[in-house]
Structure 1
């Protein structure tokens, strides 16, 4: 190719890039534009990012696609570069990248975006935010509404049934981020739907397209029905579905498969079993090639096909013996034994530590003794040995542990502890690393999630304010820092605000669970 042709080709390509950038439907805002844009638009999704952030780069094309799809619906997507607009990002409380927030025509009370970071999920989430919790439907609008999302719940009422209407509105308010809700009281439409009012029909784009609920119209029962029906009979575990399975509140049966042939074999073969236990156990395949490392979290070896059941509430694991051939018949026998309560869970644990230091080391076999069976406030770090952010926190955590451990009065009331949640089975469902929880004395069944800054001063303040014993180690910390100013400056210095994700960005192959733990809802 001649030099002129090369130059022309490069210029054409560069022009194309410029046109693509100019055509972006994502609004890049500066600090002096932000307030007016937010107040001038009814619904805005804002991304606060840094150009060097790997998660932000992965989100960028998905965010662009979503912006284009939402443009015609009057929903705006914006982004703010926090390396240039640091004051604005600090004002918005940005502590990690990317941070996404939903604004509703006001600068007051933005809510965190809690959906997945894929374009389809962003669109679905924001459309739900744009609608009332319950859309009032007519015979003209109901048909299109039924197919407006993957899962749509429509209530059929008698016009004068205020009680059921209020119950359904309450359910919709609590689940509006997950599903679309509609209601109709047109007698002809109710009759045509062949549902006894008050009743609910869940419309889906998978399995049976319609499932009817006509039982007692009580909040817990209807909520359980909707959440159960929203999950496919035999679905697939992955970054976008993992959190939903974990929050369903019932056991999850994993089938690790290699390739479409194995997937089809087990999906078809286990259909009757899944129908039999619908609402009691969720069945799902998992791609062993992409997420095989997740097997270790279920106490399985990476040998395929494989099967395990996880009690999601208790985080108990029941792996199928891998020295036996995995067949449909064996899975059926295994599942029935699990349902009957005859099976004991498998427990993964590191060895018990020979002695404890300022930071108590928790393993599965001493978890109850250190965390639950005492009258102390126990602050626990759930970490992963591969997590870079956990490694960065380690010296501060050791300093915190020493502060309480070396003071006899404090040590009688407070324990600072840590557990590698990837090497030990713990009853808590961990959504990201590091995760920090306070098990306050007398309130062990309701641990408090810590979401503050990661420096010693913040942890001390948190224990004082949230612990049962209200231990105030502020003066002791100040004294220790005076005695060792250089060391304290290095160990206790606050990390720069919003420099990276709060969970580890991994280079090794992640598990499906770990993929879902990226910044609490990130994808591969």
Structure 2
């Protein structure tokens, strides 16, 4: 066979392999039938230009191949081709992932966008809220995920069974739940009914709950026991730590050996504070820049800091000191006792406010944003953010409209550089826009619409206490200027499709 022929056949074979996919692409014509024909389906609604969708694609493919063996199907829908279908399912951004158990039972996917996380999440979704476990199936059930929970109950104890069902329904996205009424099996596992054993493939291997069955008590036990004593902060775990509801202590170090050494050194402290503070190492060579977000120097490691995740307060340990057991213990104990003041990063308060948009810094944040007499729309931005720069002239025009309106003393349009100032909110992307309504400062509303003046006015009117609405026509000259600029730059921005 000629070399050219061999090359052609090789390319054809490669193309065939490349085109093979365990992710089924659906259309409006076959979507409903496919969902009805399968017990559980994960659907990704995407757009070809979407960067996050491109990053997800190989992970989604890998998960689809693994899950196909378990009769869990992964599908995708191109919303640029199937706009009606995507609108029908309430898709507002890309990628949107939803779990279908038939067409009438649809829930949002709440897991991470990595193959292992997708696989783990969907396996949990495919199981009953509580699976019956026997001596023959227990060992296999323990391998269902990194963390599984099994309750050992007396068959006549209906009350404990009902509590377990409630907890399982609430936490089914997090852990597989099982139950057994076999007293001999409970004895073999070292417990007496009623009891719960959380099995895990890390730390001590299992944790036991023997207190009175109560939904909140079991939920607290599960979340505490399922968190590694000293875990690792990374892209896959960061959001879990942020949503845990308790502070996070970071141990920054540049090498695996140093992280292991520091973990062993601080392990007794982490054990004493279990359920009060989460401890985790973080790779300073890969994520050292995050130290700056905790008001640490981002070039001096190892380092230690505590973040109060609910209030987003930062408590950096003095980087001029060595990390020793005794010094970190004293620092942590003082933090728990409320004897450590948070570190606050702030730009100077502006001597004068220039322009209609009010500049907020950490030192005047409470005075302006939390002024309970005013509706405050605030943009959290970063100086390097291109989309923030594109928004700036429209945001200025929006502020000018309100400054010249009857609502000038009731509505504030503000901005804060979230990279240079500590703010109470955990900001996931830029720009982030929020409304702090008068009389409801504890419940800010995050804006998720398009970044046009009309839509921002509508948002202020709908989410603010004063229902303040102004007309864009009132600033006709500015609008004309903005329209002229948008002829080129605005069209380009709209096709960029930022997802943040």
Partner residue of 1:305? 302
Q: Superposed, which structure 2 residues align to 1:14-29 within 5 Å?
A: 14-29=11-26
Which of residues 44, 47, 51 is equivalent to 1:47?
Answer: 44
Contact 2:130–2:177, Cα closer than 8 Å, also in 1: yes
Q: What's the CA shift for 1:287? A: 0.4
| Residues 286 and 13 of structure 1, relative CA distance in 2, 3 Å threshold | farther
User: Greater relative contact order: 1 or 2 (C-alpha under 8 angstroms, separation 6 or more)?
Assistant: 1
* TM-superposition CA deviations, 1:52-91 (whole Å, max 9, x none): 4333232222111100111022111112233433444444
Q: What's the CA shift for 1:242? A: 0.5
Partner residue of 2:145? 149
Partner residue of 1:247? 243
| Counterpart Cα distance in 2 of 1:230 and 1:351 | 43
| Counterpart Cα distance in 2 of 1:501 and 1:483 | 25
Contact 1:395–1:491, Cα closer than 8 Å, also in 2: no
Secondary structure in 1 aligned to 2:220?
Answer: helix
| Residues 91 and 293 of structure 1, relative CA distance in 2, 3 Å threshold | same
Partner residue of 1:335? 332
**How large is the Cα RMSD of the aligned pairs?**
2.7
Which of residues 206, 223, 230 is equivalent to 1:210?
Answer: 206
Q: What's the CA shift for 1:323? A: 1.9
Contact 2:472–2:479, Cα closer than 8 Å, also in 1: no
Partner residue of 2:404? 406
| Residues 13 and 231 of structure 1, relative CA distance in 2, 3 Å threshold | farther
Q: Superposed, which structure 2 residues align to 1:417-496 within 5 Å?
A: 417-473=414-470, 476-480=471-475, 484-485=479-480, 487=482
Q: What's the CA shift for 1:176? A: 1.9
Q: Superposed, which structure 2 residues align to 1:121-140 within 5 Å?
A: 121-140=117-136
Contact 1:349–1:423, Cα closer than 8 Å, also in 2: yes
| Counterpart Cα distance in 1 of 2:317 and 2:135 | 51
Does residue 1:184 correspond to 2:176, yes or no? no
Q: Superposed, which structure 2 residues align to 1:270-419 within 5 Å?
A: 270-301=266-297, 302-356=299-353, 357-407=355-405, 409-419=406-416
| Counterpart Cα distance in 1 of 2:478 and 2:443 | 37
Secondary structure in 1 aligned to 2:424?
Answer: coil
Which of residues 237, 259, 264 is equivalent to 1:263?
Answer: 259
Q: What's the CA shift for 1:499? A: 5.5
Q: What's the CA shift for 1:261? A: 1.8
Secondary structure in 1 aligned to 2:178?
Answer: strand
Contact 1:95–1:499, Cα closer than 8 Å, also in 2: no
Secondary structure in 1 aligned to 2:213?
Answer: coil
| Residues 362 and 217 of structure 1, relative CA distance in 2, 3 Å threshold | farther
Secondary structure in 2 aligned to 1:419?
Answer: strand
| Residues 237 and 377 of structure 1, relative CA distance in 2, 3 Å threshold | same
Contact 1:133–1:172, Cα closer than 8 Å, also in 2: yes
Task: Tell me which moved more, 11-20 or 197-206.
Answer: 11-20
Contact 1:94–1:498, Cα closer than 8 Å, also in 2: no
Contact 2:388–2:430, Cα closer than 8 Å, also in 1: yes
Task: Tell me which moved more, 118-127 or 489-498.
Answer: 489-498
Contact 1:51–1:57, Cα closer than 8 Å, also in 2: yes
| Counterpart Cα distance in 2 of 1:467 and 1:166 | 42
Contact 1:97–1:498, Cα closer than 8 Å, also in 2: no
Q: What TM-score, normalized by structure 2, do the two folds share?
A: 0.91
Task: Tell me which moved more, 194-203 or 317-326.
Answer: 194-203
Which of residues 210, 217, 224 is equivalent to 2:220?
Answer: 224
Secondary structure in 2 aligned to 1:365?
Answer: helix
Contact 1:97–1:499, Cα closer than 8 Å, also in 2: no
Secondary structure in 1 aligned to 2:289?
Answer: helix
Partner residue of 2:163? 167
Q: What TM-score, normalized by structure 1, do the two folds share?
A: 0.87
* TM-superposition CA deviations, 1:265-304 (whole Å, max 9, x none): 1011111111111111111110011101001000111211
Q: Unaligned stretches of 5+ in structure 1?
A: 504-524
| Counterpart Cα distance in 2 of 1:131 and 1:221 | 24
Q: What's the CA shift for 1:483? A: 8.3
